[in-house]
Amino acid sequence: MKPLQDLARQLLEAGDVKVVIGYQDGRRGVQPAFITDPAQAERLIFDHRCVHNLATYVSPRRGHVKRLGRAAVMLKGCDARAVAGLLRESQISRDDVVLIGVRCGGVHDTPDVSGPLTAETVAPRCHGCTVREPSLPDHLVGELPPAPPVGRDLDADVARLMAMPAAERLAFWTRELDKCVRCYACRQVCPLCVCERCIVDKTQPRWIEPSAHARGNLAWHLTRAQHLAGRCSGCSECERACPEGIPVHLFNHFLAGVVRDAFDHVVSDDPEVPAPVGAFRKDDAEEFIV
């Protein structure tokens, strides 16, 4: 913890940044911390409970954070992919942020779990992780902990769904989406939902019905997932944020596979690699165009 806290203190004292966005202990588990006073840097921690993807706080939509001034943000390897997305799409420039990478041994699915990381508690995004030591950040802190236990495999979840007859799959999603109350937590928590005005909030004309009925809910969730195809960094914060426990990230994970197969593209933490939606190649697959 000390190297992390020392680094945060130095960055604040030197005036390099006005705020360090990290993690702190709360009454009910770990929560995001916004440290502006060097004397408070000792509040910063990093452990298995630090599941939040803090990249979302450097998105240009975050007016309150932006008004504090230049920010440093703590990133796990998976979170760095989201920052790379913001850079790739010119939502932020590299000079806007100082990136503090943390070596990671996996995180719990929720930030209020105490005790060791187990196959039952480990977040699905940790499955097969190859970025436990992020490469994008300016600073890298901590020792590399042991690899996390093998937990829920999203590939297997998607394969199980795709193996179902279409009617059964529709029944699965009907049951799940029936719970949706349209709180838009999935959108708000997403580091790559960067639109200043979301299509679902447009009223003239109204493209997507705002009502929480079957038609409106299906239209919303498919549109959300489509807009993130080839862009989603795979953090599954959308799913953690859902108050109704809808496995919304399965849509994103499925589409990541589609984009991989169709465009040979996997979202990485290299901002120089363009996303398929933002690049034109003469040899792009076109079989999806009807």
Partner 1 sequence: MSTPLSIKHIDSAQLEGLVAALVGAGTTVIAPARRGDARDTVGYRAVRTMAEVVLDQRPDNALKAFFLPPTDPLLHYERKGKDVTLTEVDPQIAPRVVLGALPCDVAGLPIVDRVMNWDYRDEPWFGRRDATTVIALACDKADDACFCSGVGLAPDSPQGADLLLIPTPAGFAVEVHSDKGVAFVAQHAAFFADARDATEVQAFRQRIAGLLPHAEGLDPDAARTWIEAHFMDPHWAQLALACHGCGACTMVCPTCHCFDIVDEQEGVTKGTRRRNQDYCQYGLFTLHGAGHNPRGDQGARIRQRVSHKFAIYPDRFGAILCTGCGRCSRSCAAGIDMFEVVERIAGLQATLDEEAPTGGEL
Distance CA 104, CA 64 (A): 28
Q: Which two tokens stand for residue 36?
A: 């502006």
Q: Which is nearer to partner 1, 216 or 257 (CB)?
A: 216
Answer for which of 26, 90, 94, 266 binds partner 1 (CB under 8 A) is 26
**CB neighbours (10 Å) of residue 215?**
10
**For partner 1, the closer CB: 58 or 259:** 58
Q: Write down the least CB distance from residue 176 to partner 1, Å.
A: 6
Among 9, 76, 221, 240, binds partner 1 (CB under 8 A): 240
Q: Are 77 and 125 in contact (CB under 8 A)?
A: no
User: Both ends of the chain: CA-CA distance in Å?
Assistant: 55
Residue 69 interacts with partner 1 (CB under 8 A): yes or no: no
Task: Check residue 70 and give left, alpha or beta (phi > 0: left; psi -120 to 50: alpha).
Answer: beta
Q: Which residues contact 113 (CB under 8 A, 6 or more apart)?
A: 29, 48, 49, 121
Q: Which of 2, 14, 15, 63 binds partner 1 (CB under 8 A)?
A: 63
* Sole binder of partner 1 in the list 118, 135, 211, 226 (CB under 8 A): 211
One of 4, 8, 9, 56 touching partner 1 (CB under 8 A): 56
Q: Does residue 31 touch partner 1 according to CB under 8 A?
A: yes
Is 119 a residue that touches partner 1 (CB under 8 A)? no
Q: Which of 68, 64, 88, 44 is nearest to 192 (CA)?
A: 88
Q: Are 59 and 137 in contact (CB under 8 A)?
A: no
Among 145, 201, 218, 219, binds partner 1 (CB under 8 A): 201
- Least distance in Å: CB of 28 to partner 1? 5
Residue 172 near partner 1 by CB under 8 A? yes
Among 40-48, 75-83, 205-213, 274-282, which window interacts with partner 1 (CB under 8 A)? 205-213
Angle formed at CA 101 by CA 74 and CA 143, multiple of 5 degrees? 115
